[in-house]
Amino acid sequence: MNLRKKVNLIKRKGGNNIELIEQFKDWEKNRHDYAKQWKEKSGGKVIGYFCTYVPEEILYAADVLPVRVLGSHEPQDVTEPHIFAMFCPFCRDCLAQGLKNRYKYLDGLMIAQSCLHIRQAYTSWIKHRPVEFEKFLCMPHKVQSPHSYEFLTEELRTFKKEVEDWTGKKITDNDLKKSIEVYNENRRLMKKLYELRKREKPPITGEEAMEIVIAMQMTDKAEHNKKLKELIKKLEKYTPDREVGSRLMILGSEDDDTVFMNMVEKCRATFVIDDHCTGSRYFWNETENGKDPLASIAARYIDRVPCPSKDWEERKRIPHILNLCKEWNVDGVIIMQQKFCDPHELEFVAIQKALKDAGIPTLFLEFDVTVPVGQFKIRVEAFLEMIGEEDLF
């Protein structure tokens, strides 16, 4: 039995109301089975996507299920001939999933322009595991330019046509509006769930929230909405009996490491908020209901909380992070830096400074796809001790 499985077995002790989120956990853990079953049931196509700048609404409007490609957190030896070793472990882990045929059921694969590392995973994948439909969507980098709205709208117009040609289905404005509504509802519900975490005793842990957000990125949103509504209804009346401890925020590179979350939350701490593309950044902004649905979708992706690769010339993410810290009453922040992830490496010095100036302590940790839980535990405990110093003395 590998370490991760062992940890999975014992980690339930860290949570508090697992039975409420069992469905989401199941979707997250058995993502491939879910997608295959969805395909069988609906007869529709499934597309894998690499970055949260992919406008899923257009795909969903064409009855395509978009599923985010994530890694498996297992050591692998298949990507060395394809990606230079100084590229981030996440992009290599993602490519490994493709090369190992774990996503064989995909009909299409796409990426929106974001960081170079994940793009390399995409370009290698389509060459060595070709799919029926492939797309590099030219999402603008300069989202702070007023011209980016028109540019992206045009790119989406082309993309829509390509999806129509691929699926054989004409995507009407009405289809887009319906799709937008399903996605917006999902975003609203997720924000509502996150709002509950503001409570003195948050009804879910950070690990559980992570499982729900990850499941969100690989399931049919309508189905996710249904279960999410049920969950929120239960959680609204629920007060956990676990100790909250220090209220933490986690931010940084792509992060779906539930093992780490669980370890920290067993050390008298609770993650109450995050700023990850696998977390809050994925759903934070809604699509406005405009005249031209494509223009509305474009505006949503331009105006969303930016990935650091697009956060210039002004650093708009920092005030957002500081605001999250304030609103969720955060005691400390763990900065999770994926090894070799340049956009975040270019950002964390400024973020650390801003947090320090705001009097919020930080712990910086560099992650790989596998986490040295023991070593990190010692550092996390020391950090939590430092945060709780005033209580001790």
Cβ 59 vs Cβ 66: under 8 Å: yes
Nearer to another protein, 303 or 345 (CB): 345
Least distance (Å) from another protein to the CB of residue 202? 32
Least distance (Å) from another protein to the CB of residue 349? 5
Alpha-carbon distance of 356 to 235, in angstroms, equals 34
Nearer to another protein, 249 or 307 (CB): 307
Strand order across the 269-275 sheet: 269-275, 246-252, 332-338, 362-367
The b/e string for 267-290 (b: 16+ C-beta within 10 A; e otherwise) is eebbbbbbbbbbbbbbbbbbbeee
Alpha-carbon distance of 249 to 366, in angstroms, equals 16
Partnered with residue 45 across adjacent β-strands are 64
Least distance (Å) from another protein to the CB of residue 304? 17
Least distance (Å) from another protein to the CB of residue 187? 26
| Number of C-beta neighbours around residue 355 at 10 A | 23
Cβ 182 vs Cβ 65: under 8 Å: no
Least distance (Å) from another protein to the CB of residue 135? 11
Nearer to another protein, 127 or 201 (CB): 127
Least distance (Å) from another protein to the CB of residue 123? 5
Nearer to another protein, 246 or 309 (CB): 309
Nearer to another protein, 15 or 343 (CB): 343
Nearer to another protein, 34 or 87 (CB): 87
* Contacts by 82-87, CB closer than 8 A, 24 or more apart: 82/124, 82/128, 83/120, 83/121, 83/124, 86/340, 87/117, 87/120, 87/340
Partnered with residue 332 across adjacent β-strands are 248
Query: Which residue has 């223009």 as its token pair?
Result: 295
| Number of C-beta neighbours around residue 206 at 10 A | 28
Nearer to another protein, 203 or 308 (CB): 308
Least distance (Å) from another protein to the CB of residue 336? 14
Least distance (Å) from another protein to the CB of residue 172? 23
Strands (E) located in 54-170: 64-68, 108-112, 133-137
**Side chain identity, residue 302:** I
Cβ 288 vs Cβ 299: under 8 Å: yes
Q: Would you tell me which residues interact with another protein (CB under 8 A)?
A: 80-84, 86-87, 113, 115-117, 119-120, 123-124, 127, 136, 138, 140-142, 145-148, 150-151, 154-155, 308-309, 312-313, 315, 339-340, 342-343, 345-350, 352
Nearer to another protein, 147 or 237 (CB): 147
Nearer to another protein, 244 or 318 (CB): 318
Alpha-carbon distance of 45 to 165, in angstroms, equals 13
Q: How far apart are the first and last CA of the chain?
A: 43
Least distance (Å) from another protein to the CB of residue 149? 10
